[in-house]
Amino acid sequence: MNDLSFQEFGPVLLLAFAGATLRYMILAGLTFYVGYLRKPPAGLRKLQPRWPDARQIRHELRYSAQTMLVFGLVGTGVWLAYRGGYTQLYEPWDAYGWGYWALTLLLQLVVHDTYFYWMHRLLHRPWWFRHVHYVHHRSRNPTPWAANAFHPVEALLQAGGFALILLVLPVSMSALLLFSFFIITMNVIGHSGYEFLPDNFDRHWLGKWLGSSTHHNRHHQYTRGNFGFYFNIWDRLMNTDFRAKT
């Protein structure tokens, strides 16, 4: 493995920042166009009747730009650590077999979901909420642009989920990149302000264990509870699920 080369820092940072920004702009932009700039397709259900104002959208875009820079810095750090042999990232993608490669997609999901739930609960402690997490919760009726609208400290904590994955799992670079794309996709959907799943899915036996746009939108409306994202397992175990109370 090559030694760490800080001469790579600038180009890698630019590439990481550009990649994160491009994914965010394309996914959030397309979702915003479909849900807010044209008549939404049949089957999409608006979760809150009011529409966000321009000031809220400017807020979401401004903080998302800062988040992209933080994500770019973290991505650059991961790349440099990988080049120096300090992570469990591996290539080629099938070095451990395709079965393990596929399994790591699920394992990343479980590890990150657990990390997100407990990190999110920390951010709802009074000091953390007032000084850090409130930036994100200014969007009580979020739009897709709110997906990455974080205080820089929260953006760093969000990126910490990747560091945890790299500490506990041997994972292919390709699987990590695919999972990172999945994260932003789910984040945009969760903040879209629309439900893409059938009505009352959250009351179906399967829906009670899975996260949804409705699940996260309630979190933005009421702030207490619904701390999970991909799954609803931790919320149900810790009695922080709004659906258990309504």
Q: pLDDT tens digits, residue range 2-42?
A: 555 567 778 888 888 999 999 999 999 999 999 999 888 77
**Amino acid 168: pLDDT:** 83
**Residue 242 has which token pair?**
């709004």
Together in a domain, 205 and 145: no
44 found inside a domain = no
pLDDT of residue 64: 96
> Are 75 and 159 within one domain?
yes
Residues 69-76: what's their mean pLDDT? 92
| Same-domain pairing of 246 and 160 | no
Q: Are 239 and 173 members of one domain? A: no
Q: Please tell me whether residues 233 and 174 are part of one structural domain.
A: no
Identify whether 43 is part of a domain: no
Q: Are residues 60 and 90 in the same domain?
A: yes
Shared-domain flag, residues 225 and 199: yes
Question: What SS3 state is found at 225?
Answer: coil
Mark whether 17 and 134 lie in a shared domain. yes
Residues 157 and 230 in one domain: no
How many structural domains comprise the chain?
Answer: 2
Whether residue 82 lies inside any domain: the answer is yes
Among 177, 194, 211, give the residue marking a domain's end.
194
Evaluate whether 168 touches 87 at the Cβ level (below 8 Å).
Answer: no
Is 41 contained in some domain? no
- Answer whether 0.85 is exceeded by the pTM: yes
Question: Are 69 and 181 contained in the same domain?
Answer: yes
Residue 39 lies in a domain: no
Query: Does residue 40 lie in a domain region?
Result: no
Provide the pLDDT confidence category of residue 86 given band limits of 50, 70 and 90. confident
Query: Are residues 238 and 157 both part of a single domain?
Result: no
For 156-178, the DSSP string reads HHHHHHHHHHHHH--EEHHHHHH
More confidently predicted of 64 and 242: 64
Task: Give the SS3 label for residue 54.
Answer: helix
State which of 150, 175, 194 marks the end of a domain.
194
On the question of pLDDT at 1 being above 50, the answer is no
Whether residues 85 and 125 share a domain: the answer is yes
Mean pLDDT of 196-214: 75
Q: CA 100, CA 113: separation in Å to the nearest integer?
A: 19
Asked whether residue 142 is domain-assigned, the answer is yes
Cα 142–chain centre separation: 14
Domain carrying residue 150: 6-34+52-194
Q: Which of 179, 194, 209 is the endpoint of a domain?
A: 194
Q: Is residue 45 part of a domain?
A: no
